[in-house]
Each structure stands twice: as C-alpha cells, then as structure tokens.
Structure 1
Amino acid sequence: MTSTKTKIANFEFDNCIMNAAGVLCYDKDELAKILNSAAGTFVTKTATLEPREGNPEPRYHDTRLGSINSMGLPNLGFDYYLDYLLELKKTHPKRTFFFSLVGMSQNDTHTLLRKVQESNFDGITELNLSCPNVPGKPQIAYDLETTEKLLTDIFSYFKKPLGIKLPPYFDLVHFDQAAAVFNKFPLSFVNCVNSIGNGIIIEDEKVVIKPKNGFGGIGGEYVKPTALANVHAFYQRLKPSIQIIGTGGILSGRDAFEHILCGASMVQIGTTLHKEGVSAFSRITSELKEIMEKKGYKSIEEFKGKLKYL
C-alpha cells in the first residue's frame, strides 16, 4: 500500500498534507473542517497575546497565479486557541496539532512561549519569525543576530517541540548563515516559506488591497520555485534532527511531490486551500499517491530529499 504517512518531532501523522497558518484556521468552526478532512493535522491561525482585528479590508485578493494579502495577523488571541487545543486533546487523544504563535515584541514572544511551556499542550509549537504584513514590524528572521539571541533565550526555558516559520531567503550565503544559526538549537523543524513580502498586484490601474498602499505578501503558484529552493537549501544544510515543512505553490500532487523530493517531511497548503476549500486535501493526496505508485514508491521516505542534479 502506498502511504503518505510522515513524522515531525517524533509525532506520527497519517498524511503529510495540512493547512498553512492563516488559511481556514481562524476559529473552531474553520479548524473543525480541517480536522474532519483528509489533512494529516492542522496548524492554528497565528496567535498573538491579545486578539487582533488585523489590517483594514480589502486585505486579501485571489489572482490567476496565486494571491496577495496583507492580513495584519487577525486572530482571536492566544487563550482562544490554547483552550481549543486542550479541548481537542480530550476528544482526539491520539492526534497531534500545531499551535502557531507570534509576539508583537520579544517580551510578548517569551510570554507566549512560557504560557505554552507551563500549559498541558503537548503538540508542536510553530513560532512565526516571518510576518511581512504588520506595518512597522520587520521580519525577525532576516536579522540573524536578533534571531540567534531570541532562540538562545527561548531554549533556556522552552522544552517542548518547537519549529520556526521562515520568510524566503534569496542568496546562497544567507542560506549558509541562517543554517549555521538554526543548527545551534534543538529546533524540531523549519517551515519554508511564508509569502514573498511586499509585492504589488494591479487591476484597472489600481492596487487590489488596501493596507500599505497595496503592498502585500505574494502566495500561490508564483512562489513555488522560491519555496522549493528554500526547502532544498535547508535540507542540504540543517542537521538531520531539524526537519523541513514545505509551503508555497502547492496546487497539485505534483507540487507536493516536488516539495518532498527537495526534502520536505510535510507540506502545507495555503492559497489553494483558500480558493478550493478542504476538498483540496483529498484531491492533492490522491494525486500524490498516484505519482508515487507510478514511480514505485511506497512511502515518502523513499524519495524525500533525493533530488537529482545535472
């Protein structure tokens, strides 16, 4: 039997396909749709310490090749998602979920992670170091000195499984430098990539979203080559204990296959999920299995990271 099972941080998942933070995960109703779909698990909306309304609308726009957004982290606050995850543990004790977090300051980040450490949450935490759409807030992961200091402080008290969501890097030297920092820490995974920050989409001579005069994160088909490059660059450079989650431009089983071929242990669906709904999970899973069967692969481990070069 062909299987798309995978492991992240020693937790097993029946399917390597899940949602990307920010899509169909704002509240319990949306998360329940993913819970009852073909997805292997879900990640919550990236939570801040307090609830946030986010940026003014329109702040998301579908395009032919993907999407643009400047959401500004709308979410129901840390406590809402933690309470839901603890509730789920009672009804789905054998399943593992991802809790996405971001601090609006470094102090906030530590407050959030200390709360997780002190709680009964026993899943996987994803710290978002790559929010490109909050006015006045830079992406932390582009400042590697700050990132190293932050991770040093975090791992002095945080002992649960933790991974980081990354922005795309574009220079081979930056891959080297970033990996050198990440390899110093007991990270469970890195997630490559968040949207490509600060693009503009124009229709009828005007921008299509309101925040930041139209500047927003680009997702979907546009970003797949960049996402694949980031997945493979970090697969080549990170110690084996740090796994890769591939995100960006997954419209089909073929796209998921390529992410895994580049080194991803799990893949996340964003723009396609927004456009298509939860049926995307079963469709993409079926397409991935079909490719695996044609090539004679029984598990994703048989081809993960085995990209061929000329």
Structure 2
Amino acid sequence: MPNLATHLGDFQFANPLMNASGVYCYDQLQLDAMAASDAGTLTTKSATMASRLGNPEPRYAHLALGSINSMGLPNLGLPYYLDYALDFQNTHPTKPIFMSIAGLSHADNIAMAHMINDNEFNGLTELNLSCPNVPGKPQVAYDLEATATLLDDIFSFFSKPMGVKLPPYFDLAQFDEMAAILNRYPLIYVNSINSLGNGLWVNPDSDTVAIKPKGGFGGIGGDYAKPIALANVRAFAQRLKPEIQIIGTGGVKSGRDVYDLLLCGASLVQVGTALYEEGPEIFTRLNAELDQELTKKGLTELDSVIGQLKTLD
C-alpha cells in the first residue's frame, strides 16, 4: 500500500486532502464532519472580524462542468473559529488545523493577525488575499504594492506559521512579480488557486443570470478551473524558494486530479466544488483513487510524485 503521508514545514498529515475554505467549514457541525472524514486535515471558513450574513440568495449554482458562486464571505466571525480551533487542537493533538482569515480592510487583517498571534493557537494561519465575491472589495493579491505592504506589516510581529491564498494569475510576468514578493517573507506555503473570479453563466430557460449577487458575476470552480490551477501550481513551484510549499486547489473530483496537482508541485490538495456536491464522504473515495494512481505507477510515497511533472523537451 502506498504511503499517502505528506507535510508542510514541520506539520505532518496522514494524506494530502482537505476542504477548500468556504466548503464544509461554516460552523461546528460542518467542521466536525470534516474532522471525522478521511481528509488529512481541514480549514475553517475565511473569517472576518465580525460575523457576516454574506450575499443574497441564490448565490451558488451547479453548472455542467462545475459551479458559480458569489457567497460574499458568510461566516461567524474570527472569535468563533478561534475558539473552535483552540478546542480542536486539544482534542486532536496529532491533526493540525488551518485557520483562514479574510479581512475587509488592511486594518482588519492586522487586527485579526494580532488576535491569532496572541493566544495558544498552534496550527497554520491562512491569509486569504483572493476573495472575489465581496461587492466593492477588490482582491488584494492583484495589487502587488498592497500585498507587499500588508505582508510587511503582518510579519513585523507575526511569529506563527502562515500561508497565503492566491487568486489565479494568467501571465508569466505576474508569476515572476508575485513570487519575487512572496519570497521575501517567512511563509510556510501558498494556496493556489481561489476560484476564477467574476465569471458569468446564463440560465437558458429564463434568459437570466444563474445567481443573484453582483448582477450574476461570481467565482467559477470545478472542471473549468483545473487547467488554470495546474498552471498556477506549476508556475509557483518553479519560482518560490524551497521553504515555501504549495497547496493546490481547483477542479479536484478524482484521485487522478489530486495526482496531477501533486505532480505540478502541490504538497496538499484542497477540494471545493466536488466536496460541496458530494459531501465529506468524498475523501474516502479520493484517497482510494489516489492510492490506485500511485500503485499503477509503481510508486510507494507522495515524495515520488510531488513536483515530478515532465516536459516534452
């Protein structure tokens, strides 16, 4: 049987699978379902300082090859998730947990980072720089100067393991520029990608958009996102310093999808749309299918896969 264990820095995981923030992580009931699943780890919902209802319904729609959503960061507020994480690490001492934050302003992000830094949380913090679905709030990670300023300020005091969640990039120069910034900081990982921002879908029965918020514009996930996710993981794996590992996210619904993201350089893999549609039971199937992929290739551990993508030259 292949060994599916992996790591980020000093954190060890039984397998590389976890939920994408925003799916099965809103409250204790969903987080407990994730903890009881066969995922290697889990993350909380991207939290704002105070709780938010999010955008009006309908804000999620299933599409032929994935999904469109404009959730608008519905969450119960950082204190709720911080309390959950502190309790979780006491009851699951060998299973690290990720805590995601997505401040609505620079000041909010700094304040939340202080809250996490000034307590006994010993998991991984994810700074979400890439939420595309809050009206009037641009994605921080598309502003290189704002990204650098925020990371400068956070790492002037933050001393715990942290990664950043990034949007998709589409130009090689963008990969070069963002990697040059990220390489200046003691990040543990980058998470790539968030959904493809501001897509749109037409309902052919009604000639309307598929979701209500933002006039129908929303983040695209599922099969549509996989090629972009593979490219972004590969591009950052080629540019980031070795100490910064990668979580690959986008288009995962099979063990082969997991394998492909690992091959491009991911050490962990998140599942979003397929988890939303199938529920936490999906992780049992994905682990079995990943096991089959490794066995088929004659491989016994993930280190033989991660970053081993071949080119045709």
How far, CA to CA, are the matches of 2:217 and 2:256 in structure 1?
30
Find the counterpart in structure 1 of residue 29 from structure 2.
Answer: 29
How far, CA to CA, are the matches of 1:194 and 1:20 in structure 2?
9
Per-residue deviation, 1:9: 2.5
2:106 matches 1:94: no
CA displacement, residues 138-178 of structure 1 (integer Å, 9 cap, x when unaligned):
00001111101110111010010000000000000000000
Equivalent of 1:225 in 224, 227, 249: 227
2:15 matches 1:15: yes
Letter in 1 for 2:104: M
Gap runs ≥5 in structure 2: none
Identity of aligned residues (%): 56
Report if the CA contact (8 A) 2:188-2:243 is conserved. Answer: yes
Report if the CA contact (8 A) 2:54-2:74 is conserved. Answer: yes
Find the counterpart in structure 2 of residue 282 from structure 1.
Answer: 284
How far, CA to CA, are the matches of 2:137 and 2:156 in structure 1?
25
Letter in 1 for 2:101: L
CA displacement, residues 174-224 of structure 1 (integer Å, 9 cap, x when unaligned):
000000000011101000000000000111211110000100000000010
How far, CA to CA, are the matches of 1:218 and 1:226 in structure 2?
11
Find the counterpart in structure 2 of residue 108 from structure 1.
Answer: 108
How many residue pairs are counted as aligned between the two chains?
A: 310
How far, CA to CA, are the matches of 1:72 and 1:155 in structure 2?
27
Letter in 2 for 1:280: I
How far, CA to CA, are the matches of 1:128 and 1:41 in structure 2?
18
How far, CA to CA, are the matches of 2:189 and 2:53 in structure 1?
29
Per-residue deviation, 1:303: 1.6
How far, CA to CA, are the matches of 2:239 and 2:89 in structure 1?
35
Per-residue deviation, 1:28: 0.4
The alignment partner of 1:135 has SS state of: coil
Equivalent of 2:299 in 284, 291, 297: 297
Find the counterpart in structure 2 of residue 273 from structure 1.
Answer: 275
TM-score, normalising length: structure 2: 0.98
Letter in 1 for 2:267: S
Per-residue deviation, 1:94: 1.9
Find the counterpart in structure 1 of residue 180 from structure 2.
Answer: 180
The alignment partner of 2:43 has SS state of: coil
Q: Aligned runs of 1:77-226 on 2, under 5 Å?
A: 77-203=77-203, 204=205, 205-226=207-228
Where has structure 1 moved over 2 Å in runs of 4 or more?
none
CA displacement, residues 71-123 of structure 1 (integer Å, 9 cap, x when unaligned):
00000000001001111122112221000001111000000000000011000
Find the counterpart in structure 2 of residue 44 from structure 1.
Answer: 44
How far, CA to CA, are the matches of 2:193 and 2:95 in structure 1?
25
How far, CA to CA, are the matches of 1:23 and 1:140 in structure 2?
22
The alignment partner of 1:31 has SS state of: helix
How far, CA to CA, are the matches of 1:138 and 1:9 in structure 2?
31
How far, CA to CA, are the matches of 1:246 and 1:285 in structure 2?
16
CA RMSD of aligned residues (A): 0.6
The alignment partner of 1:122 has SS state of: coil
